[in-house]
A = this chain, B = another copy of it.
């Protein structure tokens, strides 16, 4: 069993990006600039945005943080998006989700200039990804694909089972694993809450990407020997032994599944660290105008 070390891979990619940024700066190019819009004071969102700002510093990007209280109106937020769209210094920006209930998330996302949509949530980027055209691919699916690539895991013609059909992970990663590309070219099955014979389907899988958000859902008797398991779950479960009062739990019962797996990602330290570097990579691509002019 090989433990996929997302922490080490993400550190390596950060180093690669930082080197490229140094070269860009040395040759008089523009420093990539990421802006993040944070609404309210949700604990998770605060943590994620802080980590993104920190990652920008580490790779040498410029970053801007725009904060709003949770009573910001949709109109105010749309005006902010419009300003960021027009700001020539900002190469890419994100609006941290979730947003307060009185704001229409889809409307905000669609207002973002898709050429600056480094989160890859805008319909133009989602559509281009499905068609197979160059685009910003959202962070978690991109991170998963990158892990498969760096560990040189064969995917062509393999049975890949995706557990979960969210717009953030399940659907996009299924779409990527299906494309004529490496990693990709797999036979892809998407399972979800309505799937009847999930155990049987999982037991036939060469690769399982678990993104249900159900702690320890995938048990040892649900996988075959030699399976590749990518665990996207990061649910906070109460844990009195931790200072924070919780620990992160994946969708995989690790102690049961790991002994049967050829490759497996741990939680934490697997997919998680990859998401932020995927955002950094998109910002670099945006800064270089590599995808859109």
Given A123-B127, A156-B194, 11 additional A-B pairs, CB 8 A: A106-B131, A123-B128, A124-B124, A130-B130, A157-B196, A159-B197, A178-B192, A187-B189, A187-B191, A187-B201, A188-B190
The reply on A167 being an interface residue by CB < 8 A is yes
- Please report which residues of chain A, range 140-171, place their CB below 8 angstroms from some CB of chain B when the two chains form the complex: 156-159, 165, 167, 171
A152→B133 CA distance, assembly (Å): 36
Q: Give chain B nearest CB distance to A162 CB in angstroms.
A: 10
Q: Which residue in chain B gives the minimum CB-CB distance to A106?
A: B133
The reply on A185 being an interface residue by CB < 8 A is yes
A190→B171 CA distance, assembly (Å): 13
The reply on A98 being an interface residue by CB < 8 A is no
The reply on A132 being an interface residue by CB < 8 A is yes
Q: What copy number does this chain have within its complex?
A: 2
Q: 5 closest pairs, A vs B, by CB?
A: A123-B127, A127-B127, A126-B127, A189-B189, A187-B195
A178 touches B190 (CB 8 A): yes
A interface residues, Cβ below 8 angstroms from B: 106, 122-128, 130-133, 156-159, 165, 167, 171, 175, 178, 185-192, 194-197, 201
A103→B288 CA distance, assembly (Å): 27
Contacts of A188 in B (CB 8 A): 189-190
B122 touches A127 (CB 8 A): yes
Q: Which residue in chain B gives the minimum CB-CB distance to A191?
A: B187
Q: Give chain B nearest CB distance to A180 CB in angstroms.
A: 8
Q: Give chain B nearest CB distance to A99 CB in angstroms.
A: 16
A189→B175 CA distance, assembly (Å): 11
Q: List 28 A-B contacts (CB under 8 A).
A: A122-B127, A123-B124, A123-B127, A123-B128, A123-B131, A124-B124, A126-B126, A126-B127, A126-B128, A126-B131, A127-B130, A130-B130, A132-B167, A156-B194, A157-B194, A159-B196, A159-B197, A165-B178, A171-B175, A178-B192, A186-B194, A187-B190, A187-B194, A187-B195, A187-B197, A188-B189, A188-B190, A189-B189
